C-alpha cells in the first residue's frame, strides 16, 4: 500500500513538470522621435507629407516556438496632446492649431486609430524565427502623415519661423499583443484588452514666413499735350503667411530714380511721372530713400490687393511716340 502511494506521488509530480511553462515571451514597440514634416509654407496651396517608422519586436522561448509561433501586435494611437479627436488631429503652437493626421496607408485614406475609441489601429503579425530554438523577430512598420493644403489661417509668431507640435504618450500609444498558434485563425485587435506597453513620440513641423506678389500694368492713355496732369492706377496683390509683417518697395524704373521716374520713347525722349501710395498723390511710393515710402502690411494668409496711383504732371510735351517704363516691385518679409 505504501508503494502505490509513493508511485502515485511520483506520477503527479511528473505530470506537473510536463505542463509547466517558462516565463512569458515579450513584445515591444519603439518610434523615432520626433516625426517631422520639416518646413511648411501654408500659402503654397500644397499638402505636406511625411513617413514615420515604428520598430516592433517579439521574443519566443524554446517551448513557445512551436506552441505559439505567431504574434499579433496592435499599435493603438489616440488623439494626442493637442487634439480632441483623431479626425482630424492638430499640431499646436500655444492656442494656435494646424490640422494634420496620421494614417496606416500611403494613400492617406485610413486614419491610424485605436480600439480604445473604436477606430483602426496598426496591426502586424510576426513569426518566430525558429520553431526549434525560438528567438526574436524585429520588423519596421511604416505610418504616414499628411498636413492638408490651404490652411492659410495658420500663423507664425514674432515674424519668425514657428514650430507646431503634438506629443503622443501613455494610453494614447497603447501596445497590445498576443501569441497564437494558427495563422488562419489570428485573433483581432478588438479582442485584446490588456495594454502591454507604449511607444511615445512627437510630431512637429516648422511654419515659415512666405509671401507671393503679382502686379497689373498701368496705362495713362493717349494725350496730345501734357498741359494738365494725367492720372492712372494699377494694382499689386500680395499674399503672406498669417502674422507675417512685410514691405513692398518699388524701384526707380529703367530711366529714372525713385524720386523722379521717367518713361522713355524708342527715340530716347522722356516723360516724367511718379507713383504714389495714396490717391492724393502726396506720398511717393519707392524704396524708403529720397523722401519715398514703402507699403507696409501684415499677412493674413489671404490675398491683399493694393492700389498704385500714378501721375504724369503737366510738362513740356515731347515728340509724339509711345513712352514706357518698367518698375520692379520687391516684397520683403
Q: Are strands 35-40 and 201-207 parallel, antiparallel or unpaired?
A: parallel
pLDDT score for 24: 56
Instruction: Confirm whether 154 is domain-assigned.
Output: yes
**SS3 of 15, please?**
helix
d(CA 171, CA 184): 30
User: Looking up cell 503679382, which residue turns up?
Assistant: 214
- Hey, is 172 helix, strand or coil? helix
The per-residue pLDDT for range 118-159, each reduced to its tens digit, is: 999 999 999 999 999 999 999 999 999 999 999 999 999 999
Answer with the one of 161, 177, 207 that is the final residue of a domain. 207
d(CA 231, CA 274): 10
Q: What residues of the chain score a pLDDT lower than 70?
A: 1-25
The answer to whether residue 250 is domain-embedded is yes
Nearest to 80 by CA among 199, 208, 206, 207: 199
**How many residues does the structure list for the chain?**
333
On whether both 45 and 157 belong to a single domain, the answer is: yes
Calpha distance 197→203 (Å, rounded): 20
Pair 239, 274 in one domain: yes
The domain boundary residue, chosen from 178, 207, 236: 207
Residue 136 lies in a domain: yes
Long-range residue pairs from 103-111, CB within 8 A, at least 24 positions apart, any chain = 103/143, 103/144, 103/145, 103/146, 104/143, 104/144, 105/144, 106/51, 106/142, 106/144, 108/49, 108/144, 108/146, 111/86, 111/87
Which of 207, 224, 253 is the last residue before a domain boundary? 207
Q: Is residue 47 part of a domain?
A: yes
Q: Do 253 and 111 have their domain in common?
A: no
Does residue 230 share a domain with residue 83?
no
If residue 12 lies in a helix (H) or strand (E), which one and from where to where? Answer: helix 2-18
- Per-residue pLDDT at 187: 97
- pLDDT for the residue 288: 98
**Does 187 share its domain with 76?**
yes
DSSP string, 284-314: BBSSS-TT-B-EEEE--SSEEEEEEEEEE-S
Given this model, what pLDDT does residue 281 score? Answer: 98
Assign residue 139 the CATH number of its domain: 2.60.40
Question: Which residues have a Cβ under 8 Å from the Cβ of 186 and sit 6 or more positions away?
Answer: 70, 72, 125, 180
The verdict on 173 and 295 lying in the same domain is no
**β-pairing verdict for 211-215 and 70-77:** unpaired
∠254-258-264 over CA atoms, to 5°?
35
**pLDDT at residue 84, rounded to an integer:** 87
Give the range of the structural domain holding residue 259, as residue numbers without chain letter. Answer: 211-332
CA 181 to mean position of chain CA atoms: 42
> What would you report as the CA-atom Rg of the chain, rounded to the nearest whole angstrom?
35
Q: 180-208, pLDDT tens digit by residue? A: 999 999 999 999 999 999 999 999 999 99
> Which helix H or strand E contains 14, and what residues bound it?
helix 2-18
**pLDDT tens sequence across 220-229:** 999 999 999 9
- Cell representation of residue 333: 518679409
Please give the pLDDT value at position 25.
Answer: 64
Pairing of strands 245-250, 261-264: unpaired
> What is the number of structural domains in the chain?
2
Query: What's the pTM value of the predicted model, to 2 decimals?
Result: 0.84
User: Beta-carbon neighbour count of residue 59 at 10 Å?
Assistant: 19
CB-CB neighbours of 308 under 10 Å: 21
The number of beta carbons lying within 10 Å of the beta carbon of residue 167 is: 18
Amino acid at each position: 500500500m505504501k508503494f502505490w502511494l509513493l508511485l502515485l506521488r511520483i506520477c503527479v509530480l511528473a505530470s506537473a513538470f510536463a505542463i509547466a511553462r517558462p516565463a512569458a515571451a515579450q513584445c515591444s514597440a519603439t518610434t523615432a522621435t520626433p516625426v517631422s514634416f520639416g518646413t511648411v509654407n501654408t500659402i503654397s496651396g500644397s499638402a505636406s507629407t511625411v513617413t514615420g517608422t515604428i520598430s516592433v519586436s517579439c521574443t519566443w522561448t524554446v517551448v513557445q516556438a512551436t506552441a505559439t509561433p505567431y504574434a499579433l501586435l496592435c499599435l493603438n494611437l489616440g488623439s494626442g496632446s493637442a487634439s480632441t479627436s483623431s479626425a482630424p488631429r492638430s499640431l499646436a503652437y500655444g492656442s494656435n492649431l494646424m490640422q494634420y493626421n496620421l494614417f496606416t496607408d500611403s494613400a492617406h485614406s485610413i486614419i491610424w486609430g485605436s480600439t480604445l475609441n473604436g477606430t483602426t489601429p496598426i496591426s502586424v503579425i510576426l513569426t518566430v524565427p525558429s520553431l526549434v530554438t525560438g528567438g526574436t523577430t524585429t520588423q519596421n512598420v511604416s505610418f504616414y502623415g499628411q498636413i492638408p493644403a490651404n490652411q492659410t489661417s495658420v500663423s507664425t509668431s514674432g515674424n519668425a519661423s514657428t514650430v507646431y507640435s503634438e506629443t503622443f504618450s501613455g494610453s494614447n500609444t497603447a501596445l497590445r499583443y498576443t501569441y497564437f498558434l494558427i495563422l488562419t485563425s489570428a485573433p483581432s485587435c478588438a479582442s485584446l484588452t490588456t495594454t502591454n506597453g507604449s511607444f511615445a513620440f512627437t510630431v512637429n513641423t516648422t511654419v515659415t514666413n512666405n509671401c507671393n506678389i503679382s502686379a497689373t500694368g498701368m496705362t495713362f492713355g493717349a494725350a496730345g499735350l501734357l498741359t494738365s496732369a494725367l492720372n492712372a492706377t494699377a494694382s499689386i496683390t500680395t499674399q503672406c503667411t498669417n502674422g507675417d509683417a512685410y514691405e513692398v518697395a518699388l524701384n526707380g524704373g529703367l530711366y529714372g530714380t525713385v524720386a523722379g521716374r521717367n518713361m522713355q520713347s524708342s527715340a530716347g525722349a522722356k516723360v516724367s511721372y511718379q507713383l504714389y501710395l495714396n490717391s492724393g498723390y502726396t506720398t511717393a511710393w519707392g524704396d524708403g530713400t529720397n523722401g519715398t515710402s514703402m507699403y507696409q502690411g501684415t499677412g493674413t494668409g489671404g490675398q491683399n490687393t493694393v492700389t498704385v496711383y500714378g501721375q504724369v504732371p503737366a510738362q513740356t510735351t515731347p515728340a509724339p511716340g509711345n513712352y514706357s517704363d518698367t518698375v520692379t516691385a520687391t516684397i520683403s518679409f
